[in-house]
Each structure stands twice: as structure tokens, then as C-alpha cells.
Structure 1
Amino acid sequence: MNQNKWWQKATVYQIYPRSFQDSNGDGVGDIPGIIQRLPYLKELGVQVIWLSPIYQSPNDDNGYDISDYRKILPEFGTMADVDEMITIAHELGLKIMMDLVVNHTSGEHHWFQQSRQSRDNPYRDYYIWRDPVDGHEPNNWLSDFGGSAWAFDEKTKQYYLHLFSKKQPDLNWENPALREAIYETMAWWLNKGIDGFRMDVINLISKQTGLPNDPNVNADNHGSSMTFVANGPKVHQYLQEMNAKVLSRNDIITVGETPGVTTSDAIQYAGFDSHELQMIFQFEHTEIDNSREGLGKWSDERFNLVDLKRILSKWQTALDGKAWNSLYWNNHDRPRVVSRFGDDSEAYRVVSAKMLATTLHFMQGTPYIYQGEEIGMTNVDWSSISQYQDIDTLNAYQDLVVEQQRVSPERMMTYIHHSSRDNARTPMQWDDSNQAGFTKGKPWLAVNSNYETINVAQALADQQSIFYFYKKIIALRQQMPLITNGHYQVLDMADSEVYAYKRIGVDSELLVISNFTNQTLTRHYTLNDGANMILSNYDDDQGDTLRPYESKVYFEGT
């Protein structure tokens, strides 16, 4: 096992730039705002900052539709601002990881603008174009945002593929010229001084040979073809080529977003000897509360702890010694962790947020903190669909409520409160001043109304806050090789209330115990005489008694 790579001990902090800090009062977070807050991230103790896209974009999908990979969206700032951010971050000992979105571009990218001019345009083959079949789409693939994954272009009388929005045409990775153009852009950013890439839906870049119909598409054409398209026949060839030409030439961090993968797939993508990526994001644990009505993530169901333990334990065990895990609860696409897996009530928000941090960060892998997680930010509870901006949320409401009438408006709103991506995208809550200190103007998306009590200023003033708890855990990961290298062993898998596991080294052990309920429980775990409690979200240790959402860690050894 590669025990000494810097990124294996690192903790990553994800910034969603639009919602982090606005410096000029236009209501949109920007790069000068990020620069202003870098000392805060240094204080937290993270080593890497992952930036969601800041590139030129028409913002059909909040920046994941890129129209120029080498320009910055003006509302975020300038390339000079980016250079300053990289310089200051490096002076503070912080690394910068950029989002790389190369399964698709914006329809406004000059490649696509050229591609649609004619069938023989030099850029035509940068994208995936097909003739109609019997006057209809080339196959039955469905977009992840609803509807067909094909859009007809009147000018050239062909369809182009878009697995996401119609304004996000998929790139044709079969074309060597396209691949070289992407590698050149990656090298260009690395030469600027960035320290790695998070790769958006990177396991979709190789499509199924011949583009066959998706057998999983049902009669009412509801769903997505992402899983069917994922892990195509040439994806490892492409990533090994990318690794050889770009990634392996730099000491950087790489993580691939890979929907629909198994642990065996992960070992291919992120195996220590695979020469592809260093780790991947898998989604299995984020889908355990999916709808039982076939509505995907649109539900308000509470997860089952045994399911969570089974999934996380499977990934911990299967990758041990073979590949590297990424550890995360939430991101810009997922609801707030304390609302989803914890308890965001006033009584238990703080203690359950600390419990969730403990449970995840003592596992093997590189942990990712999403902005606001470290102060316990919660989901929003807006009353009207008109308050939401996320394209995925709006499309789902239109599809399920208005068109198909499968879900009542009232029920759909409870699902949206639970699952919408806008839960993660409300502005960062810095203090209790107007607009939570995020902007002096009108924010692009409304601030969560609880900002007066949940904010950074409050957290920094309270030594018992969630912030300082995260800071302590991050420091422990740097200090204790056992957290990086120890083997994982789950205890009492069938226990539906407590998650307990060990990390086992040659001459030391960690025991992690987390009560996932708001009840006081009794559990006995055998401890050797030399075991010391090194972390707890309560002030004392009551032995076999576990108070609501109590989490504690014992260490024994040398």
C-alpha cells in the first residue's frame, strides 16, 4: 500500500464559489471572496480546497456547462484573481483542486458552435451526432435531468447526445483530437499552479459501442440512462492515457465522480497499480433513502442504519490495501448531512453533527468537507417551488407534479425539502448580520433563515462548537498513522441504532462508537486496560451508557 502519499492524510474542503463569499455586492460569491476567507480555512486545518467550476459558463447547470475552459466567469472575477488565489493559498500551505468537467461542454462552447455548422465541419466529431431512426431519436437513452438524452438540430438534421441538460452536449472521446485538446487544457491549468482535479462524471466518457437501447428504460420513459452508460468499454484506456500524458507527471490529487460503480470498478479506477485516478466518489451510501415508489432521490424516507453500515463497511473492506476511498457525507449535489443523517433540531443539531463527523473521519480514505458542514448548516424549508433554482429540482417538479401527476404538490415539496440540491447551495452563513455576511446585495439564492443562530462567527466564539470539533479531528488525522493505514472491522452489523467499528494496526487499535438515535442506549464493548478515550462529543464518559447521538473514540497501543 502507498502509505506516504500526502493526499492520503489530507482533508479536502469543497467550496461552491457562487455561495461562499461575495466581495462586490452583486449577490454572487466570487474569487476575491474566497481569497478573503482563506485564513478561515487555514484555521480549520484542511489541506486542500476543491473549487466547483469557476470557468466561463452560461450557467444552465450552475457552471457545470463550460463554454471556455481557459476563461473565468466574469461574475466570479478574473484570471488575475485566480492567480492571486493560488499564490496566497500556497503561502498558507493550502492546495487548490479544480473541477474538471469533460464528459460534456456547454452548447455555447466554440467547439460545439463549430460542430453544429455542418456535418463535415472539423469539430463535428468532437461531439456525438446521429441520424434519426424511423423519424425519432437514435435510441431510448434518457437524460439525468429528465426526458430524452437526444436533441434534434434543425440545421444539420441530426440528433446530438446530452446525458444532462440539452445545453450540455456530450463530448466524443473516441476522437483523438478531442482528447489531446482536453489534456492540453489540463496541463495548462497545472502549469498555473493548481494541485489536482476533481473529475465530473468521468466514468461516462466512454459510451457503449453502437449506442444500443437502454434495457432499463420503462414504458413511461421515466428515469436516467447514466447507470447504463457508465463504465463504458474504453473508459480505462482513456484514463490511463490521461494519466500517462498529464496526471503522472505531477504530484497532484485526483478524484473521479463515478456514478454506478461497484467496488471492483473502483479498484480499476483508483487501484494503487491502476495508473488512472487516486480515488473515486461512489454514490451507494447517498442513495439508501431513495424512493420506494420509483422516484429516484425524490422521497422523504429516513435511512436505515444497517444499510448504511453494510455499504460503508463493504467499501472499507473491499478497497483495503488495493485502492483508496474518498469519504464524504454531502456536497453541492446532496442535501445537508445533519438534516439527512443526523438531527437538525435545536436540541440535537450540534451533538449529532459531531457524531457524524466522528463516524466518517476515522475511516480509511480522504475525507471531504462541504462548505458549511463544519458549522452544522441545515436544509432549507421553503414553502414554494418558485423559491428554488436548481434545474434538477424544477425539472422533477414539472415532470412528476405537472405533467405526469404522479405526486401531489404538497408531497413533492416534502421530497424537495429532503432531497433538493438547493439545500446545499444556500449562501455560506458567516455571521448574524444582514444576509449572513455573505453579501451586501441581494443573494442569488436566499439565505437559510436560521443564519442568526448558525454561523461562523458564533462557531469561532464557542470552543465547544462543531467547527472546533472538526478542527480536532482533522489534526488527529495528521498525527495518527493508524487512521490512514489501519484495517477496518465493523462491530455488531445488525445493530440498527449504534455504529461501532475498529481500526486495527500492528500494535494499536481505535474503537469508534456512534449512537445514531436521540435515545439513551446501553451497549458494552470490551476495552483493554490501556485504552484511552481520545475524542467525544460529550464532556464525560459514562461507559456502557450512550446518550443521544453520543460518539466517542478510544485508542490503545503505541
Structure 2
Amino acid sequence: MLNRFVYQIYPKSFKDTNDDGIGDIKGIIEKLDYLQDLGINMIWTTPVFVSPQNDNGYDVADYRNIDPLFGTMDDVDVLIEEASKRGIDIMFDFVLNHTSTAHEWFQKALKGDKKYMDYYFFKEKPTNWQSKFGGSAWKYVESLDLYYLHLFDPTQADLNWENPEVFEELCGVVNFSLEKGITGLRFDVINLVSKPDVFEDDDVWDGRRFYTDGPRVHEHLHALNTHTFGTYEDILTVGELSSTTIDHAVKYADPTRHELGTVFGFHHLKVDYKNNRKWELKDPDFVQFKTLLAEWQLEMQAHNAYMALFLNNHDQPRANSRFGDDLNYPFESATLYSTLMFLMRGIPYIYQGEEIGLPNAYFNTIDDYRDIESLNMYRELIQTQDEKTVLDILNKRSRDNGRTPMPWNHDQFYGFSTQNPWLGFTKHPQLKTVEDNLKDPASVYHYMKRLIALRKSSQILKEGSIHFSELNHPTRFIYSRMLSDETIDVVGNMSNTTDTLDFDATDASIILSNTGRTELSNTLVLQPFEVLVVHKKNVAL
């Protein structure tokens, strides 16, 4: 597991091969040599199953067939085979908290079939819980005179995991993909699957305290493990955890509990949420950023558990735009944050475009956006705020920031497609394509390639302990990885000004630098967004 370096692909935006403006599975196959050269050894692809695409595949209507938008099951078989030839495994994304309302189970429920109504949550009286996409978490069905629960979009109905028949169906879904040769499983919002026995109003917030890390969630995940992936060797599992606590996260990932292999936590990506609310802006709190990461790292370490190491994915703004300065220091911002994240203790996840420093979307009208969450929030926020303010919020928070198509070259539509893509390209004024990066030995891509090789080759980085320093410094990020009598220090400056610090350069050598630094001294002047990786021998533990 610790040898894994995962590359996440958002298929719609990766590479289009059938000229419809939407990326597809054959597009992933076409770029396998590129990914092999980068050095990754597992691909995580977001959902490609049959879906109405109201939430870009996270509203699954058929777990056992591929959406024609992306290709066929034969294409998946070819992908698995061709990737394997290049030493790359495949991770699928499973959405088991809810289905699309277009799924045959829900359609039967709408017709009053009692068996399938019990696959979901239908109630005579709704609670005041709020959907994570805005508005009520309940939708009324006139023909049944009942409400059904949807923690996300109204077209995403929550499944009833307390029903043994539902659990059996979902185990079958997972085993179906494992039998095809999938060796990685990512479970979407998996800590929300256990709902309370009694549904009641929330007089504190939006209802999440009743279903987050619910009453039987650990029991459910242990059972899922023992009935599916736990019966296989060397399967990497990762659970996406929504609004969880570190105590629960450790339990999910504790190898002695046999639930999940690793977890995605998001607390470090809320440090620019004013009042802990996504759609309220504030500058990043880097002390909180470091403190949260340190707490999670050290607590995981104490229980021999592992977490996913990431800053970017399909639901997040780009970290180089969000935490760095992608206009004045584009290279440094991109390489600093990836280095700080990927050399910690856990499993690294690099998101498509991160390897070329792809920035935020920089959209300037609501017509540019496609993300359902962003469109819903626009309609909600515009009721109380002016257009400019709302667009600024979307510019910094929208999930479309991480979903703009890959710019492969300077051909029409940046080589992504021969047609206008489903979502526009970033409007950043200094956009660098993959082709630009490959030609330039000093590019973000070539730095990332060295970073990935370092991570994969170093036993210290894979197995060593982690220790943090100067957590209260406003912008300086320092930690050490230790194994036997060797140490790797990672030192970063998360600001656009220089930072002078004392540094023990005894028996130290630079193994990676994003500024071309070649010499060390006991006084270091870190440049804006500089990161330095230093190896030391004979360090007393």
C-alpha cells in the first residue's frame, strides 16, 4: 500500500477521443504513456457508471454498466489491461450513500413497491435538515404523499443501509468490479451511510450531527470489508469522510478494525471558510492549516493508520490558486504545496492538471459555470448579495475550478477535443499546457516527476515517522521524516515574502528544491513560496 502514488482523473475533463466535447475512457487509455512517464502507479477515476449526470456521475443509475458518455465495459477492460502493462493499477469510485432517482430501485419505489421503498427513506413528515447543496434535504412525492431523504441533490436519494437487502445489493456491486480486476476502491461520503433510528429536527444547525459518523457506520464498514475487498490481497481502499472527527477517522483507518485502508479528511481544506461555512470567504489561516495536518498525522501515526495526502480534487479549488500566488509565483506556488503534502505520512494523491500547475478557472460570468452546487448557491446567494460579490465567491469556491478540461497543447480546444468542451478552459492569463511543460526542463511537470520519484524510492518517506516544528509560525511549514539514523527535513515558506530562519546544516544535503538552491548554511533565507527537501545522516532520535 505504501508504494502507491495515485493520480486522480476526472474523465469528463481529461481527454476526448470521440469528438463530443466530453472526455472518455479511451482518452485515459491514450494518455497512459504520459502517466507512466510521470511516475504514478495507480489511477483513480471518478464515476463512469450509467448516470443522468446531474452531479457529474455521483448520481448513479446503474452500478454495473458504463455510461455511454464515457464508453463501454469493453473499454474498461482494455484500460485495466493496458494500464497493467505499464505498472499502473485502477481505482474505481463508488457512490454507495445514495443512488440517482433514475435508478430502477427508486423508480420501483415511486410506484409504491414496498420492497424498494424500504431501500430509501420515505417519511410522512420531513425534518428541518438541509441539503449539502442548499435547500431542504427532503423532497415531496405527491403520488405517495410522502417525503424522501436526499442529503445532496433532489435527484440523489439516500440509501437505507439498515436494510439487509440494500447491503447485500451493494456488496454485489463492489464484488462485481473487484472480479473485473479493479484493485483500488474509493468510497464517496462513506461516513454518512448510517442514519438514525429516529429522525428529528436540528435546533443547532443543518442536521448533519444526526447522520455524520452515524450510529452503526463502523459496523457497516467492517461488514463491507469482510464481504468484499477484505477477501482480496493488496486492495487499496480510501473513504471520503464528510465533516468527521479525528477519532472516527482513526477508527475507519485502524488496520486492526478491518474497516478501510485509508481515509480522505477535509478539515485542512476549510481553513479559508469564514465561520466554517464554505460560501463565506476569508484568507487562509496557515497556523490552523498546519495544526490540523499535524494533529491528523500524529494521531494516525499513533494508531499505525494512514490518510490520503491531497490538496486538490474534483470538488476543490486549485491549491496553487487558493493558497499561493498563481499570477506572480505560478511555478513556486504549484510545487511548494504539492511537496509539502506528498512527503508527509500516508498515500499521495495527485489530481489531473496538478502536475502542470493548472490554476483555478477564473470564470467571470454565471454562464461559464456547470457545477450543480455552484448554480444552486448562486440562486441562493444572489437573493441577499450583489452580482460581483457572488461571482467572486464562486470564483474562489466553485467545484468547476477543479474541473476545467486538461489543456494538452495549443491546437484548437487545447488538444482536449475537436469540439467545444462541456466546460470552458481556465481563463488564467498565463496558462501553460502539457506540451509547454514537457518541452521545458524547468517546468512544473519535470519538478513533479522528480518529486514522485523521490517519494516512491525513499524508505524514509514511505515508512518513517513524522515530527512537526514551529506550528505557531504564521507561514513557515517545517516537518521531519525519520527512519533509523536518517532524517528528511521538509521546509516551506507559504508566503510571498522572504523568510529568514536558523537551520542546522550539519551533515545535510539538498535532495529537492523548487528554487534551484544548491547550498545550505545555518542561516537560510527562504524565497517566496520556496520549498526545500534536505537529507541528514546520523541524527540522534
TM-score range, shorter chain: over 0.9
> Which ranges in structure 2 are unaligned for 5 or more consecutive residues?
none
Q: Distance in 1 between matches of 2:493 and 2:131?
A: 39
Residue type matched to 1:285 in 2? H
Which one-letter code corresponds to 2:251 in the other structure? Q
Matched-pair contact (CA < 8 Å) for 1:163–1:226: no
Work out which of the residue numbers 363, 382, 388 in structure 1 matches 2:344. 363
Conserved? CA contact 2:36–2:86, under 8 Å: yes
Contact 1:21–1:34 (8 Å) recurs in 2? yes
- Return the match for 1:286 from 247, 251, 269: 269
SS at match of 2:98: coil
CA contact 2:5–2:456 (8 Å) conserved in 1: no
Matches within 5 A, 1:111-126: 111-118=105-112, 120-126=113-119
Paired with 1:456 and 1:243, the residues of 2 have a C-alpha distance of 39
Which residue of the partner structure matches residue 312 of structure 2?
330
Q: What is the correspondence of 1:416-435 to structure 2 with a 5 Å cutoff?
A: 416-435=394-413
Corresponding position: 1:275 with 2:253: no
Q: Does 1:379 align with 2:357?
A: no
Corresponding residue number in structure 1 for 2:525: 545
Distance across 2 between alignment mates of 1:505 and 1:542? 22
Matched, 1:231 2:213: yes
Q: Distance in 1 between matches of 2:497 and 2:441?
A: 26
1:131 to 100, 108, 124: 124
Q: Is the 8 A contact 2:108 2:116 kept in 1?
A: yes
Give the TM-score, by structure 1 length: 0.93
Task: Give 2:131's aligned residue.
Answer: 143
In 2, Cα distance between the equivalents of 1:164 and 1:310? 30
* 1:452–1:77 distance in 2 versus 1, CA, 3 Å: farther
Q: Provide the TM-score with structure 2 as the length reference.
A: 0.96
How many angstroms apart in 2 are the aligned matches of 1:443 and 1:334? Answer: 20
**Unmatched 5+ residue regions in structure 1?**
1-6, 218-223
Look up the match of 1:478: 456
CA contact (8 A) 2:360 2:428 kept: no
Q: Is the 8 A contact 2:61 2:100 kept in 1?
A: yes
The CA deviation at 1:427 is 0.3
- 1:45 maps to a residue whose letter is G
Q: CA deviation at 1:433?
A: 1.5
Matches within 5 A, 1:38-437: 38-118=32-112, 120-132=113-125, 137=126, 139-217=127-205, 224-250=206-232, 251-292=234-275, 296-322=277-303, 323-345=305-327, 347-402=328-383, 405=384, 407-437=385-415
Give 3-state SS (helix, strand or coil) of 1:523's partner. strand
Quote how far apart the aligned CAs of 1:225 are: 3.3
1:408-428 deviation line (CA, Å, top 9, x unaligned): 211111111111000111101
CA shift in 2, pair 1:376/1:426, >3 Å: same
Separation in 1, partners of 2:293, 2:520: 27
Equivalent position of 1:518 in the other structure: 496
Question: Structure 1 residues 379, 227: closer, same or farther in 2, change over 3 A?
Answer: farther
Taking the aligned partners of 2:85 and 2:209, their CA distance within structure 1 comes to 42
Residue identity matched to 1:519: T
1:389: how far off?
0.9
Task: Name the counterpart of 1:24.
Answer: 18
Distance 2:386 2:448 in 1: 40
Q: Secondary structure at the match of 1:75?
A: coil
Task: Choose the corresponding residue for 2:509, options 507, 523, 532.
Answer: 532
Deviation at 1:241, TM superposition (A): 0.5
Q: 2:14–2:416: 8 Å Cα contact kept in structure 1?
A: yes
1:163-209 CA-partner distances (Å, limit 9, x unpaired)? 00110000000110111111011111111111121100000000122
Amino acid paired to 1:365: G
Q: Deviations over 1:80-128 (max 9, x none)?
A: 111111110111110100000010000000000011211x532121111
Counterpart AA for 2:221: L
Alpha-carbon distance in 1 for matches of 2:40, 2:19? 28
Report the alpha carbon displacement of residue 450 of structure 1 after superposing the two structures with TM: 4.2
Q: Give 1:277 shift.
A: 0.2
Cα distance in 2 between the residues matched to 1:241 and 1:382? 44
2:216 partner letter: K
Alpha-carbon distance between aligned partners in 1 of 2:296 and 2:108, rounded to the nearest angstrom: 44
> Residue 220 of structure 1 corresponds to which residue in structure 2?
none
Identity of aligned residues (%): 40
Cα distance in 2 between the residues matched to 1:73 and 1:356: 35
